[in-house]
Homo-oligomer: A and B are copies of this chain.
Amino acid sequence: MNSPEISSGAQKVLSAAQELFANEGYASVSIAAIADRAQVSKANIYHHFESKDELYCAVLKAACLASAEMITHDAGQDNNYAKQLTNFARSHVLHLTNNPSVSTLVIRGLLEESSNIDATTNDLTAHDFDCNFNRLVTLIKAGQVAKQIKPEINPSTLATLMIGANILFMKARNVLDEVPDTDYPLDPENFANTMIDILLHGVLTEQQEDKLL
């Protein structure tokens, strides 16, 4: 069921590499460090993978696969698009917070331009990101066709809002919880709900909305 070439030893290496690459980036992680964590010899890594680059690509590929898999699981063909957006936001932010190393890898690939590594890594993460991003855009457009979402809003902008906020939430949680900003919603589901609330109904009070007419 898996790819043809995943022995248990290679899997140990992959897991160790994934965690280290996600936490510290490509260049900071040495083969020796990966070998240490995987409890194998340095030479053994080169028995399973051609080079450090190839190992990184393999790690990234696995991460993208896992990242793409999760979003597939919604597909609840509800006709209520508010609910569908909520589900997307919730499952997305849960995926981010539950699989931080996978997510970090994909995001890092996205945010780091002109990688010194093989160009395929860029395409890999870009395609994966595009995949999830476009799924959301498609969902939004469907909501517009169903006349539940305003026709004049830009689907890409809305998608950027949702995904950008989720990413920042995941990453900034570690930083912000040190500061006692008492009202910051640390629970992912809680955050997704308050976020969707804003996006669905806007932030202006009714009297302000009336004033604009």
Using CB atoms and an 8 Å cutoff, list the residues of chain A in contact with chain B. 23-28, 82, 104, 107-108, 110-114, 116, 126, 129-130, 133-134, 137, 147-150, 153-158, 160-161, 163-169, 171-172, 174-176, 178-179, 181, 183-185, 191, 194-195, 197-205, 207-209
B154 touches A183 (CB 8 A): yes
In the bound complex, what is the Cα–Cα distance between A124 and B184 (angstroms)?
A: 21
A171: shortest Cβ distance to chain B, in Å? 5
A195 touches B156 (CB 8 A): no
A199 touches B199 (CB 8 A): yes
> Looking at chain A's contact residues, is the secondary structure mostly helix, strand, loop, or mixed?
helix
* Most chain B CB atoms below 10 A, which of A28, A176, A191, A202: A202
Report B-chain residues with C-beta under 8 Å of the C-beta of A199.
Answer: 161, 198-199, 202-203
Contact partner of A116 (CB less than 8 A), chosen from B28, B107, B160, B166, is: B28
In the bound complex, what is the Cα–Cα distance between A148 and B195 (angstroms)?
A: 19
**What 9 pairs across the A-B complex have the smallest Cβ distances?**
A164-B168, A202-B202, A164-B164, A27-B27, A27-B28, A164-B165, A201-B202, A156-B184, A157-B194
Report B-chain residues with C-beta under 8 Å of the C-beta of A133.
Answer: 176
In the bound complex, what is the Cα–Cα distance between A173 and B92 (angstroms)?
A: 21
B191 touches A157 (CB 8 A): yes
Report B-chain residues with C-beta under 8 Å of the C-beta of A165.
Answer: 157, 160-161, 164-165
The residue on B at minimum CB distance from A126 is B175
The residue on B at minimum CB distance from A156 is B184
In the bound complex, what is the Cα–Cα distance between A169 and B159 (angstroms)?
A: 10
A212: shortest Cβ distance to chain B, in Å? 8
Report B-chain residues with C-beta under 8 Å of the C-beta of A150.
Answer: 203-205
Report B-chain residues with C-beta under 8 Å of the C-beta of A204.
Answer: 82, 148-150, 200-201
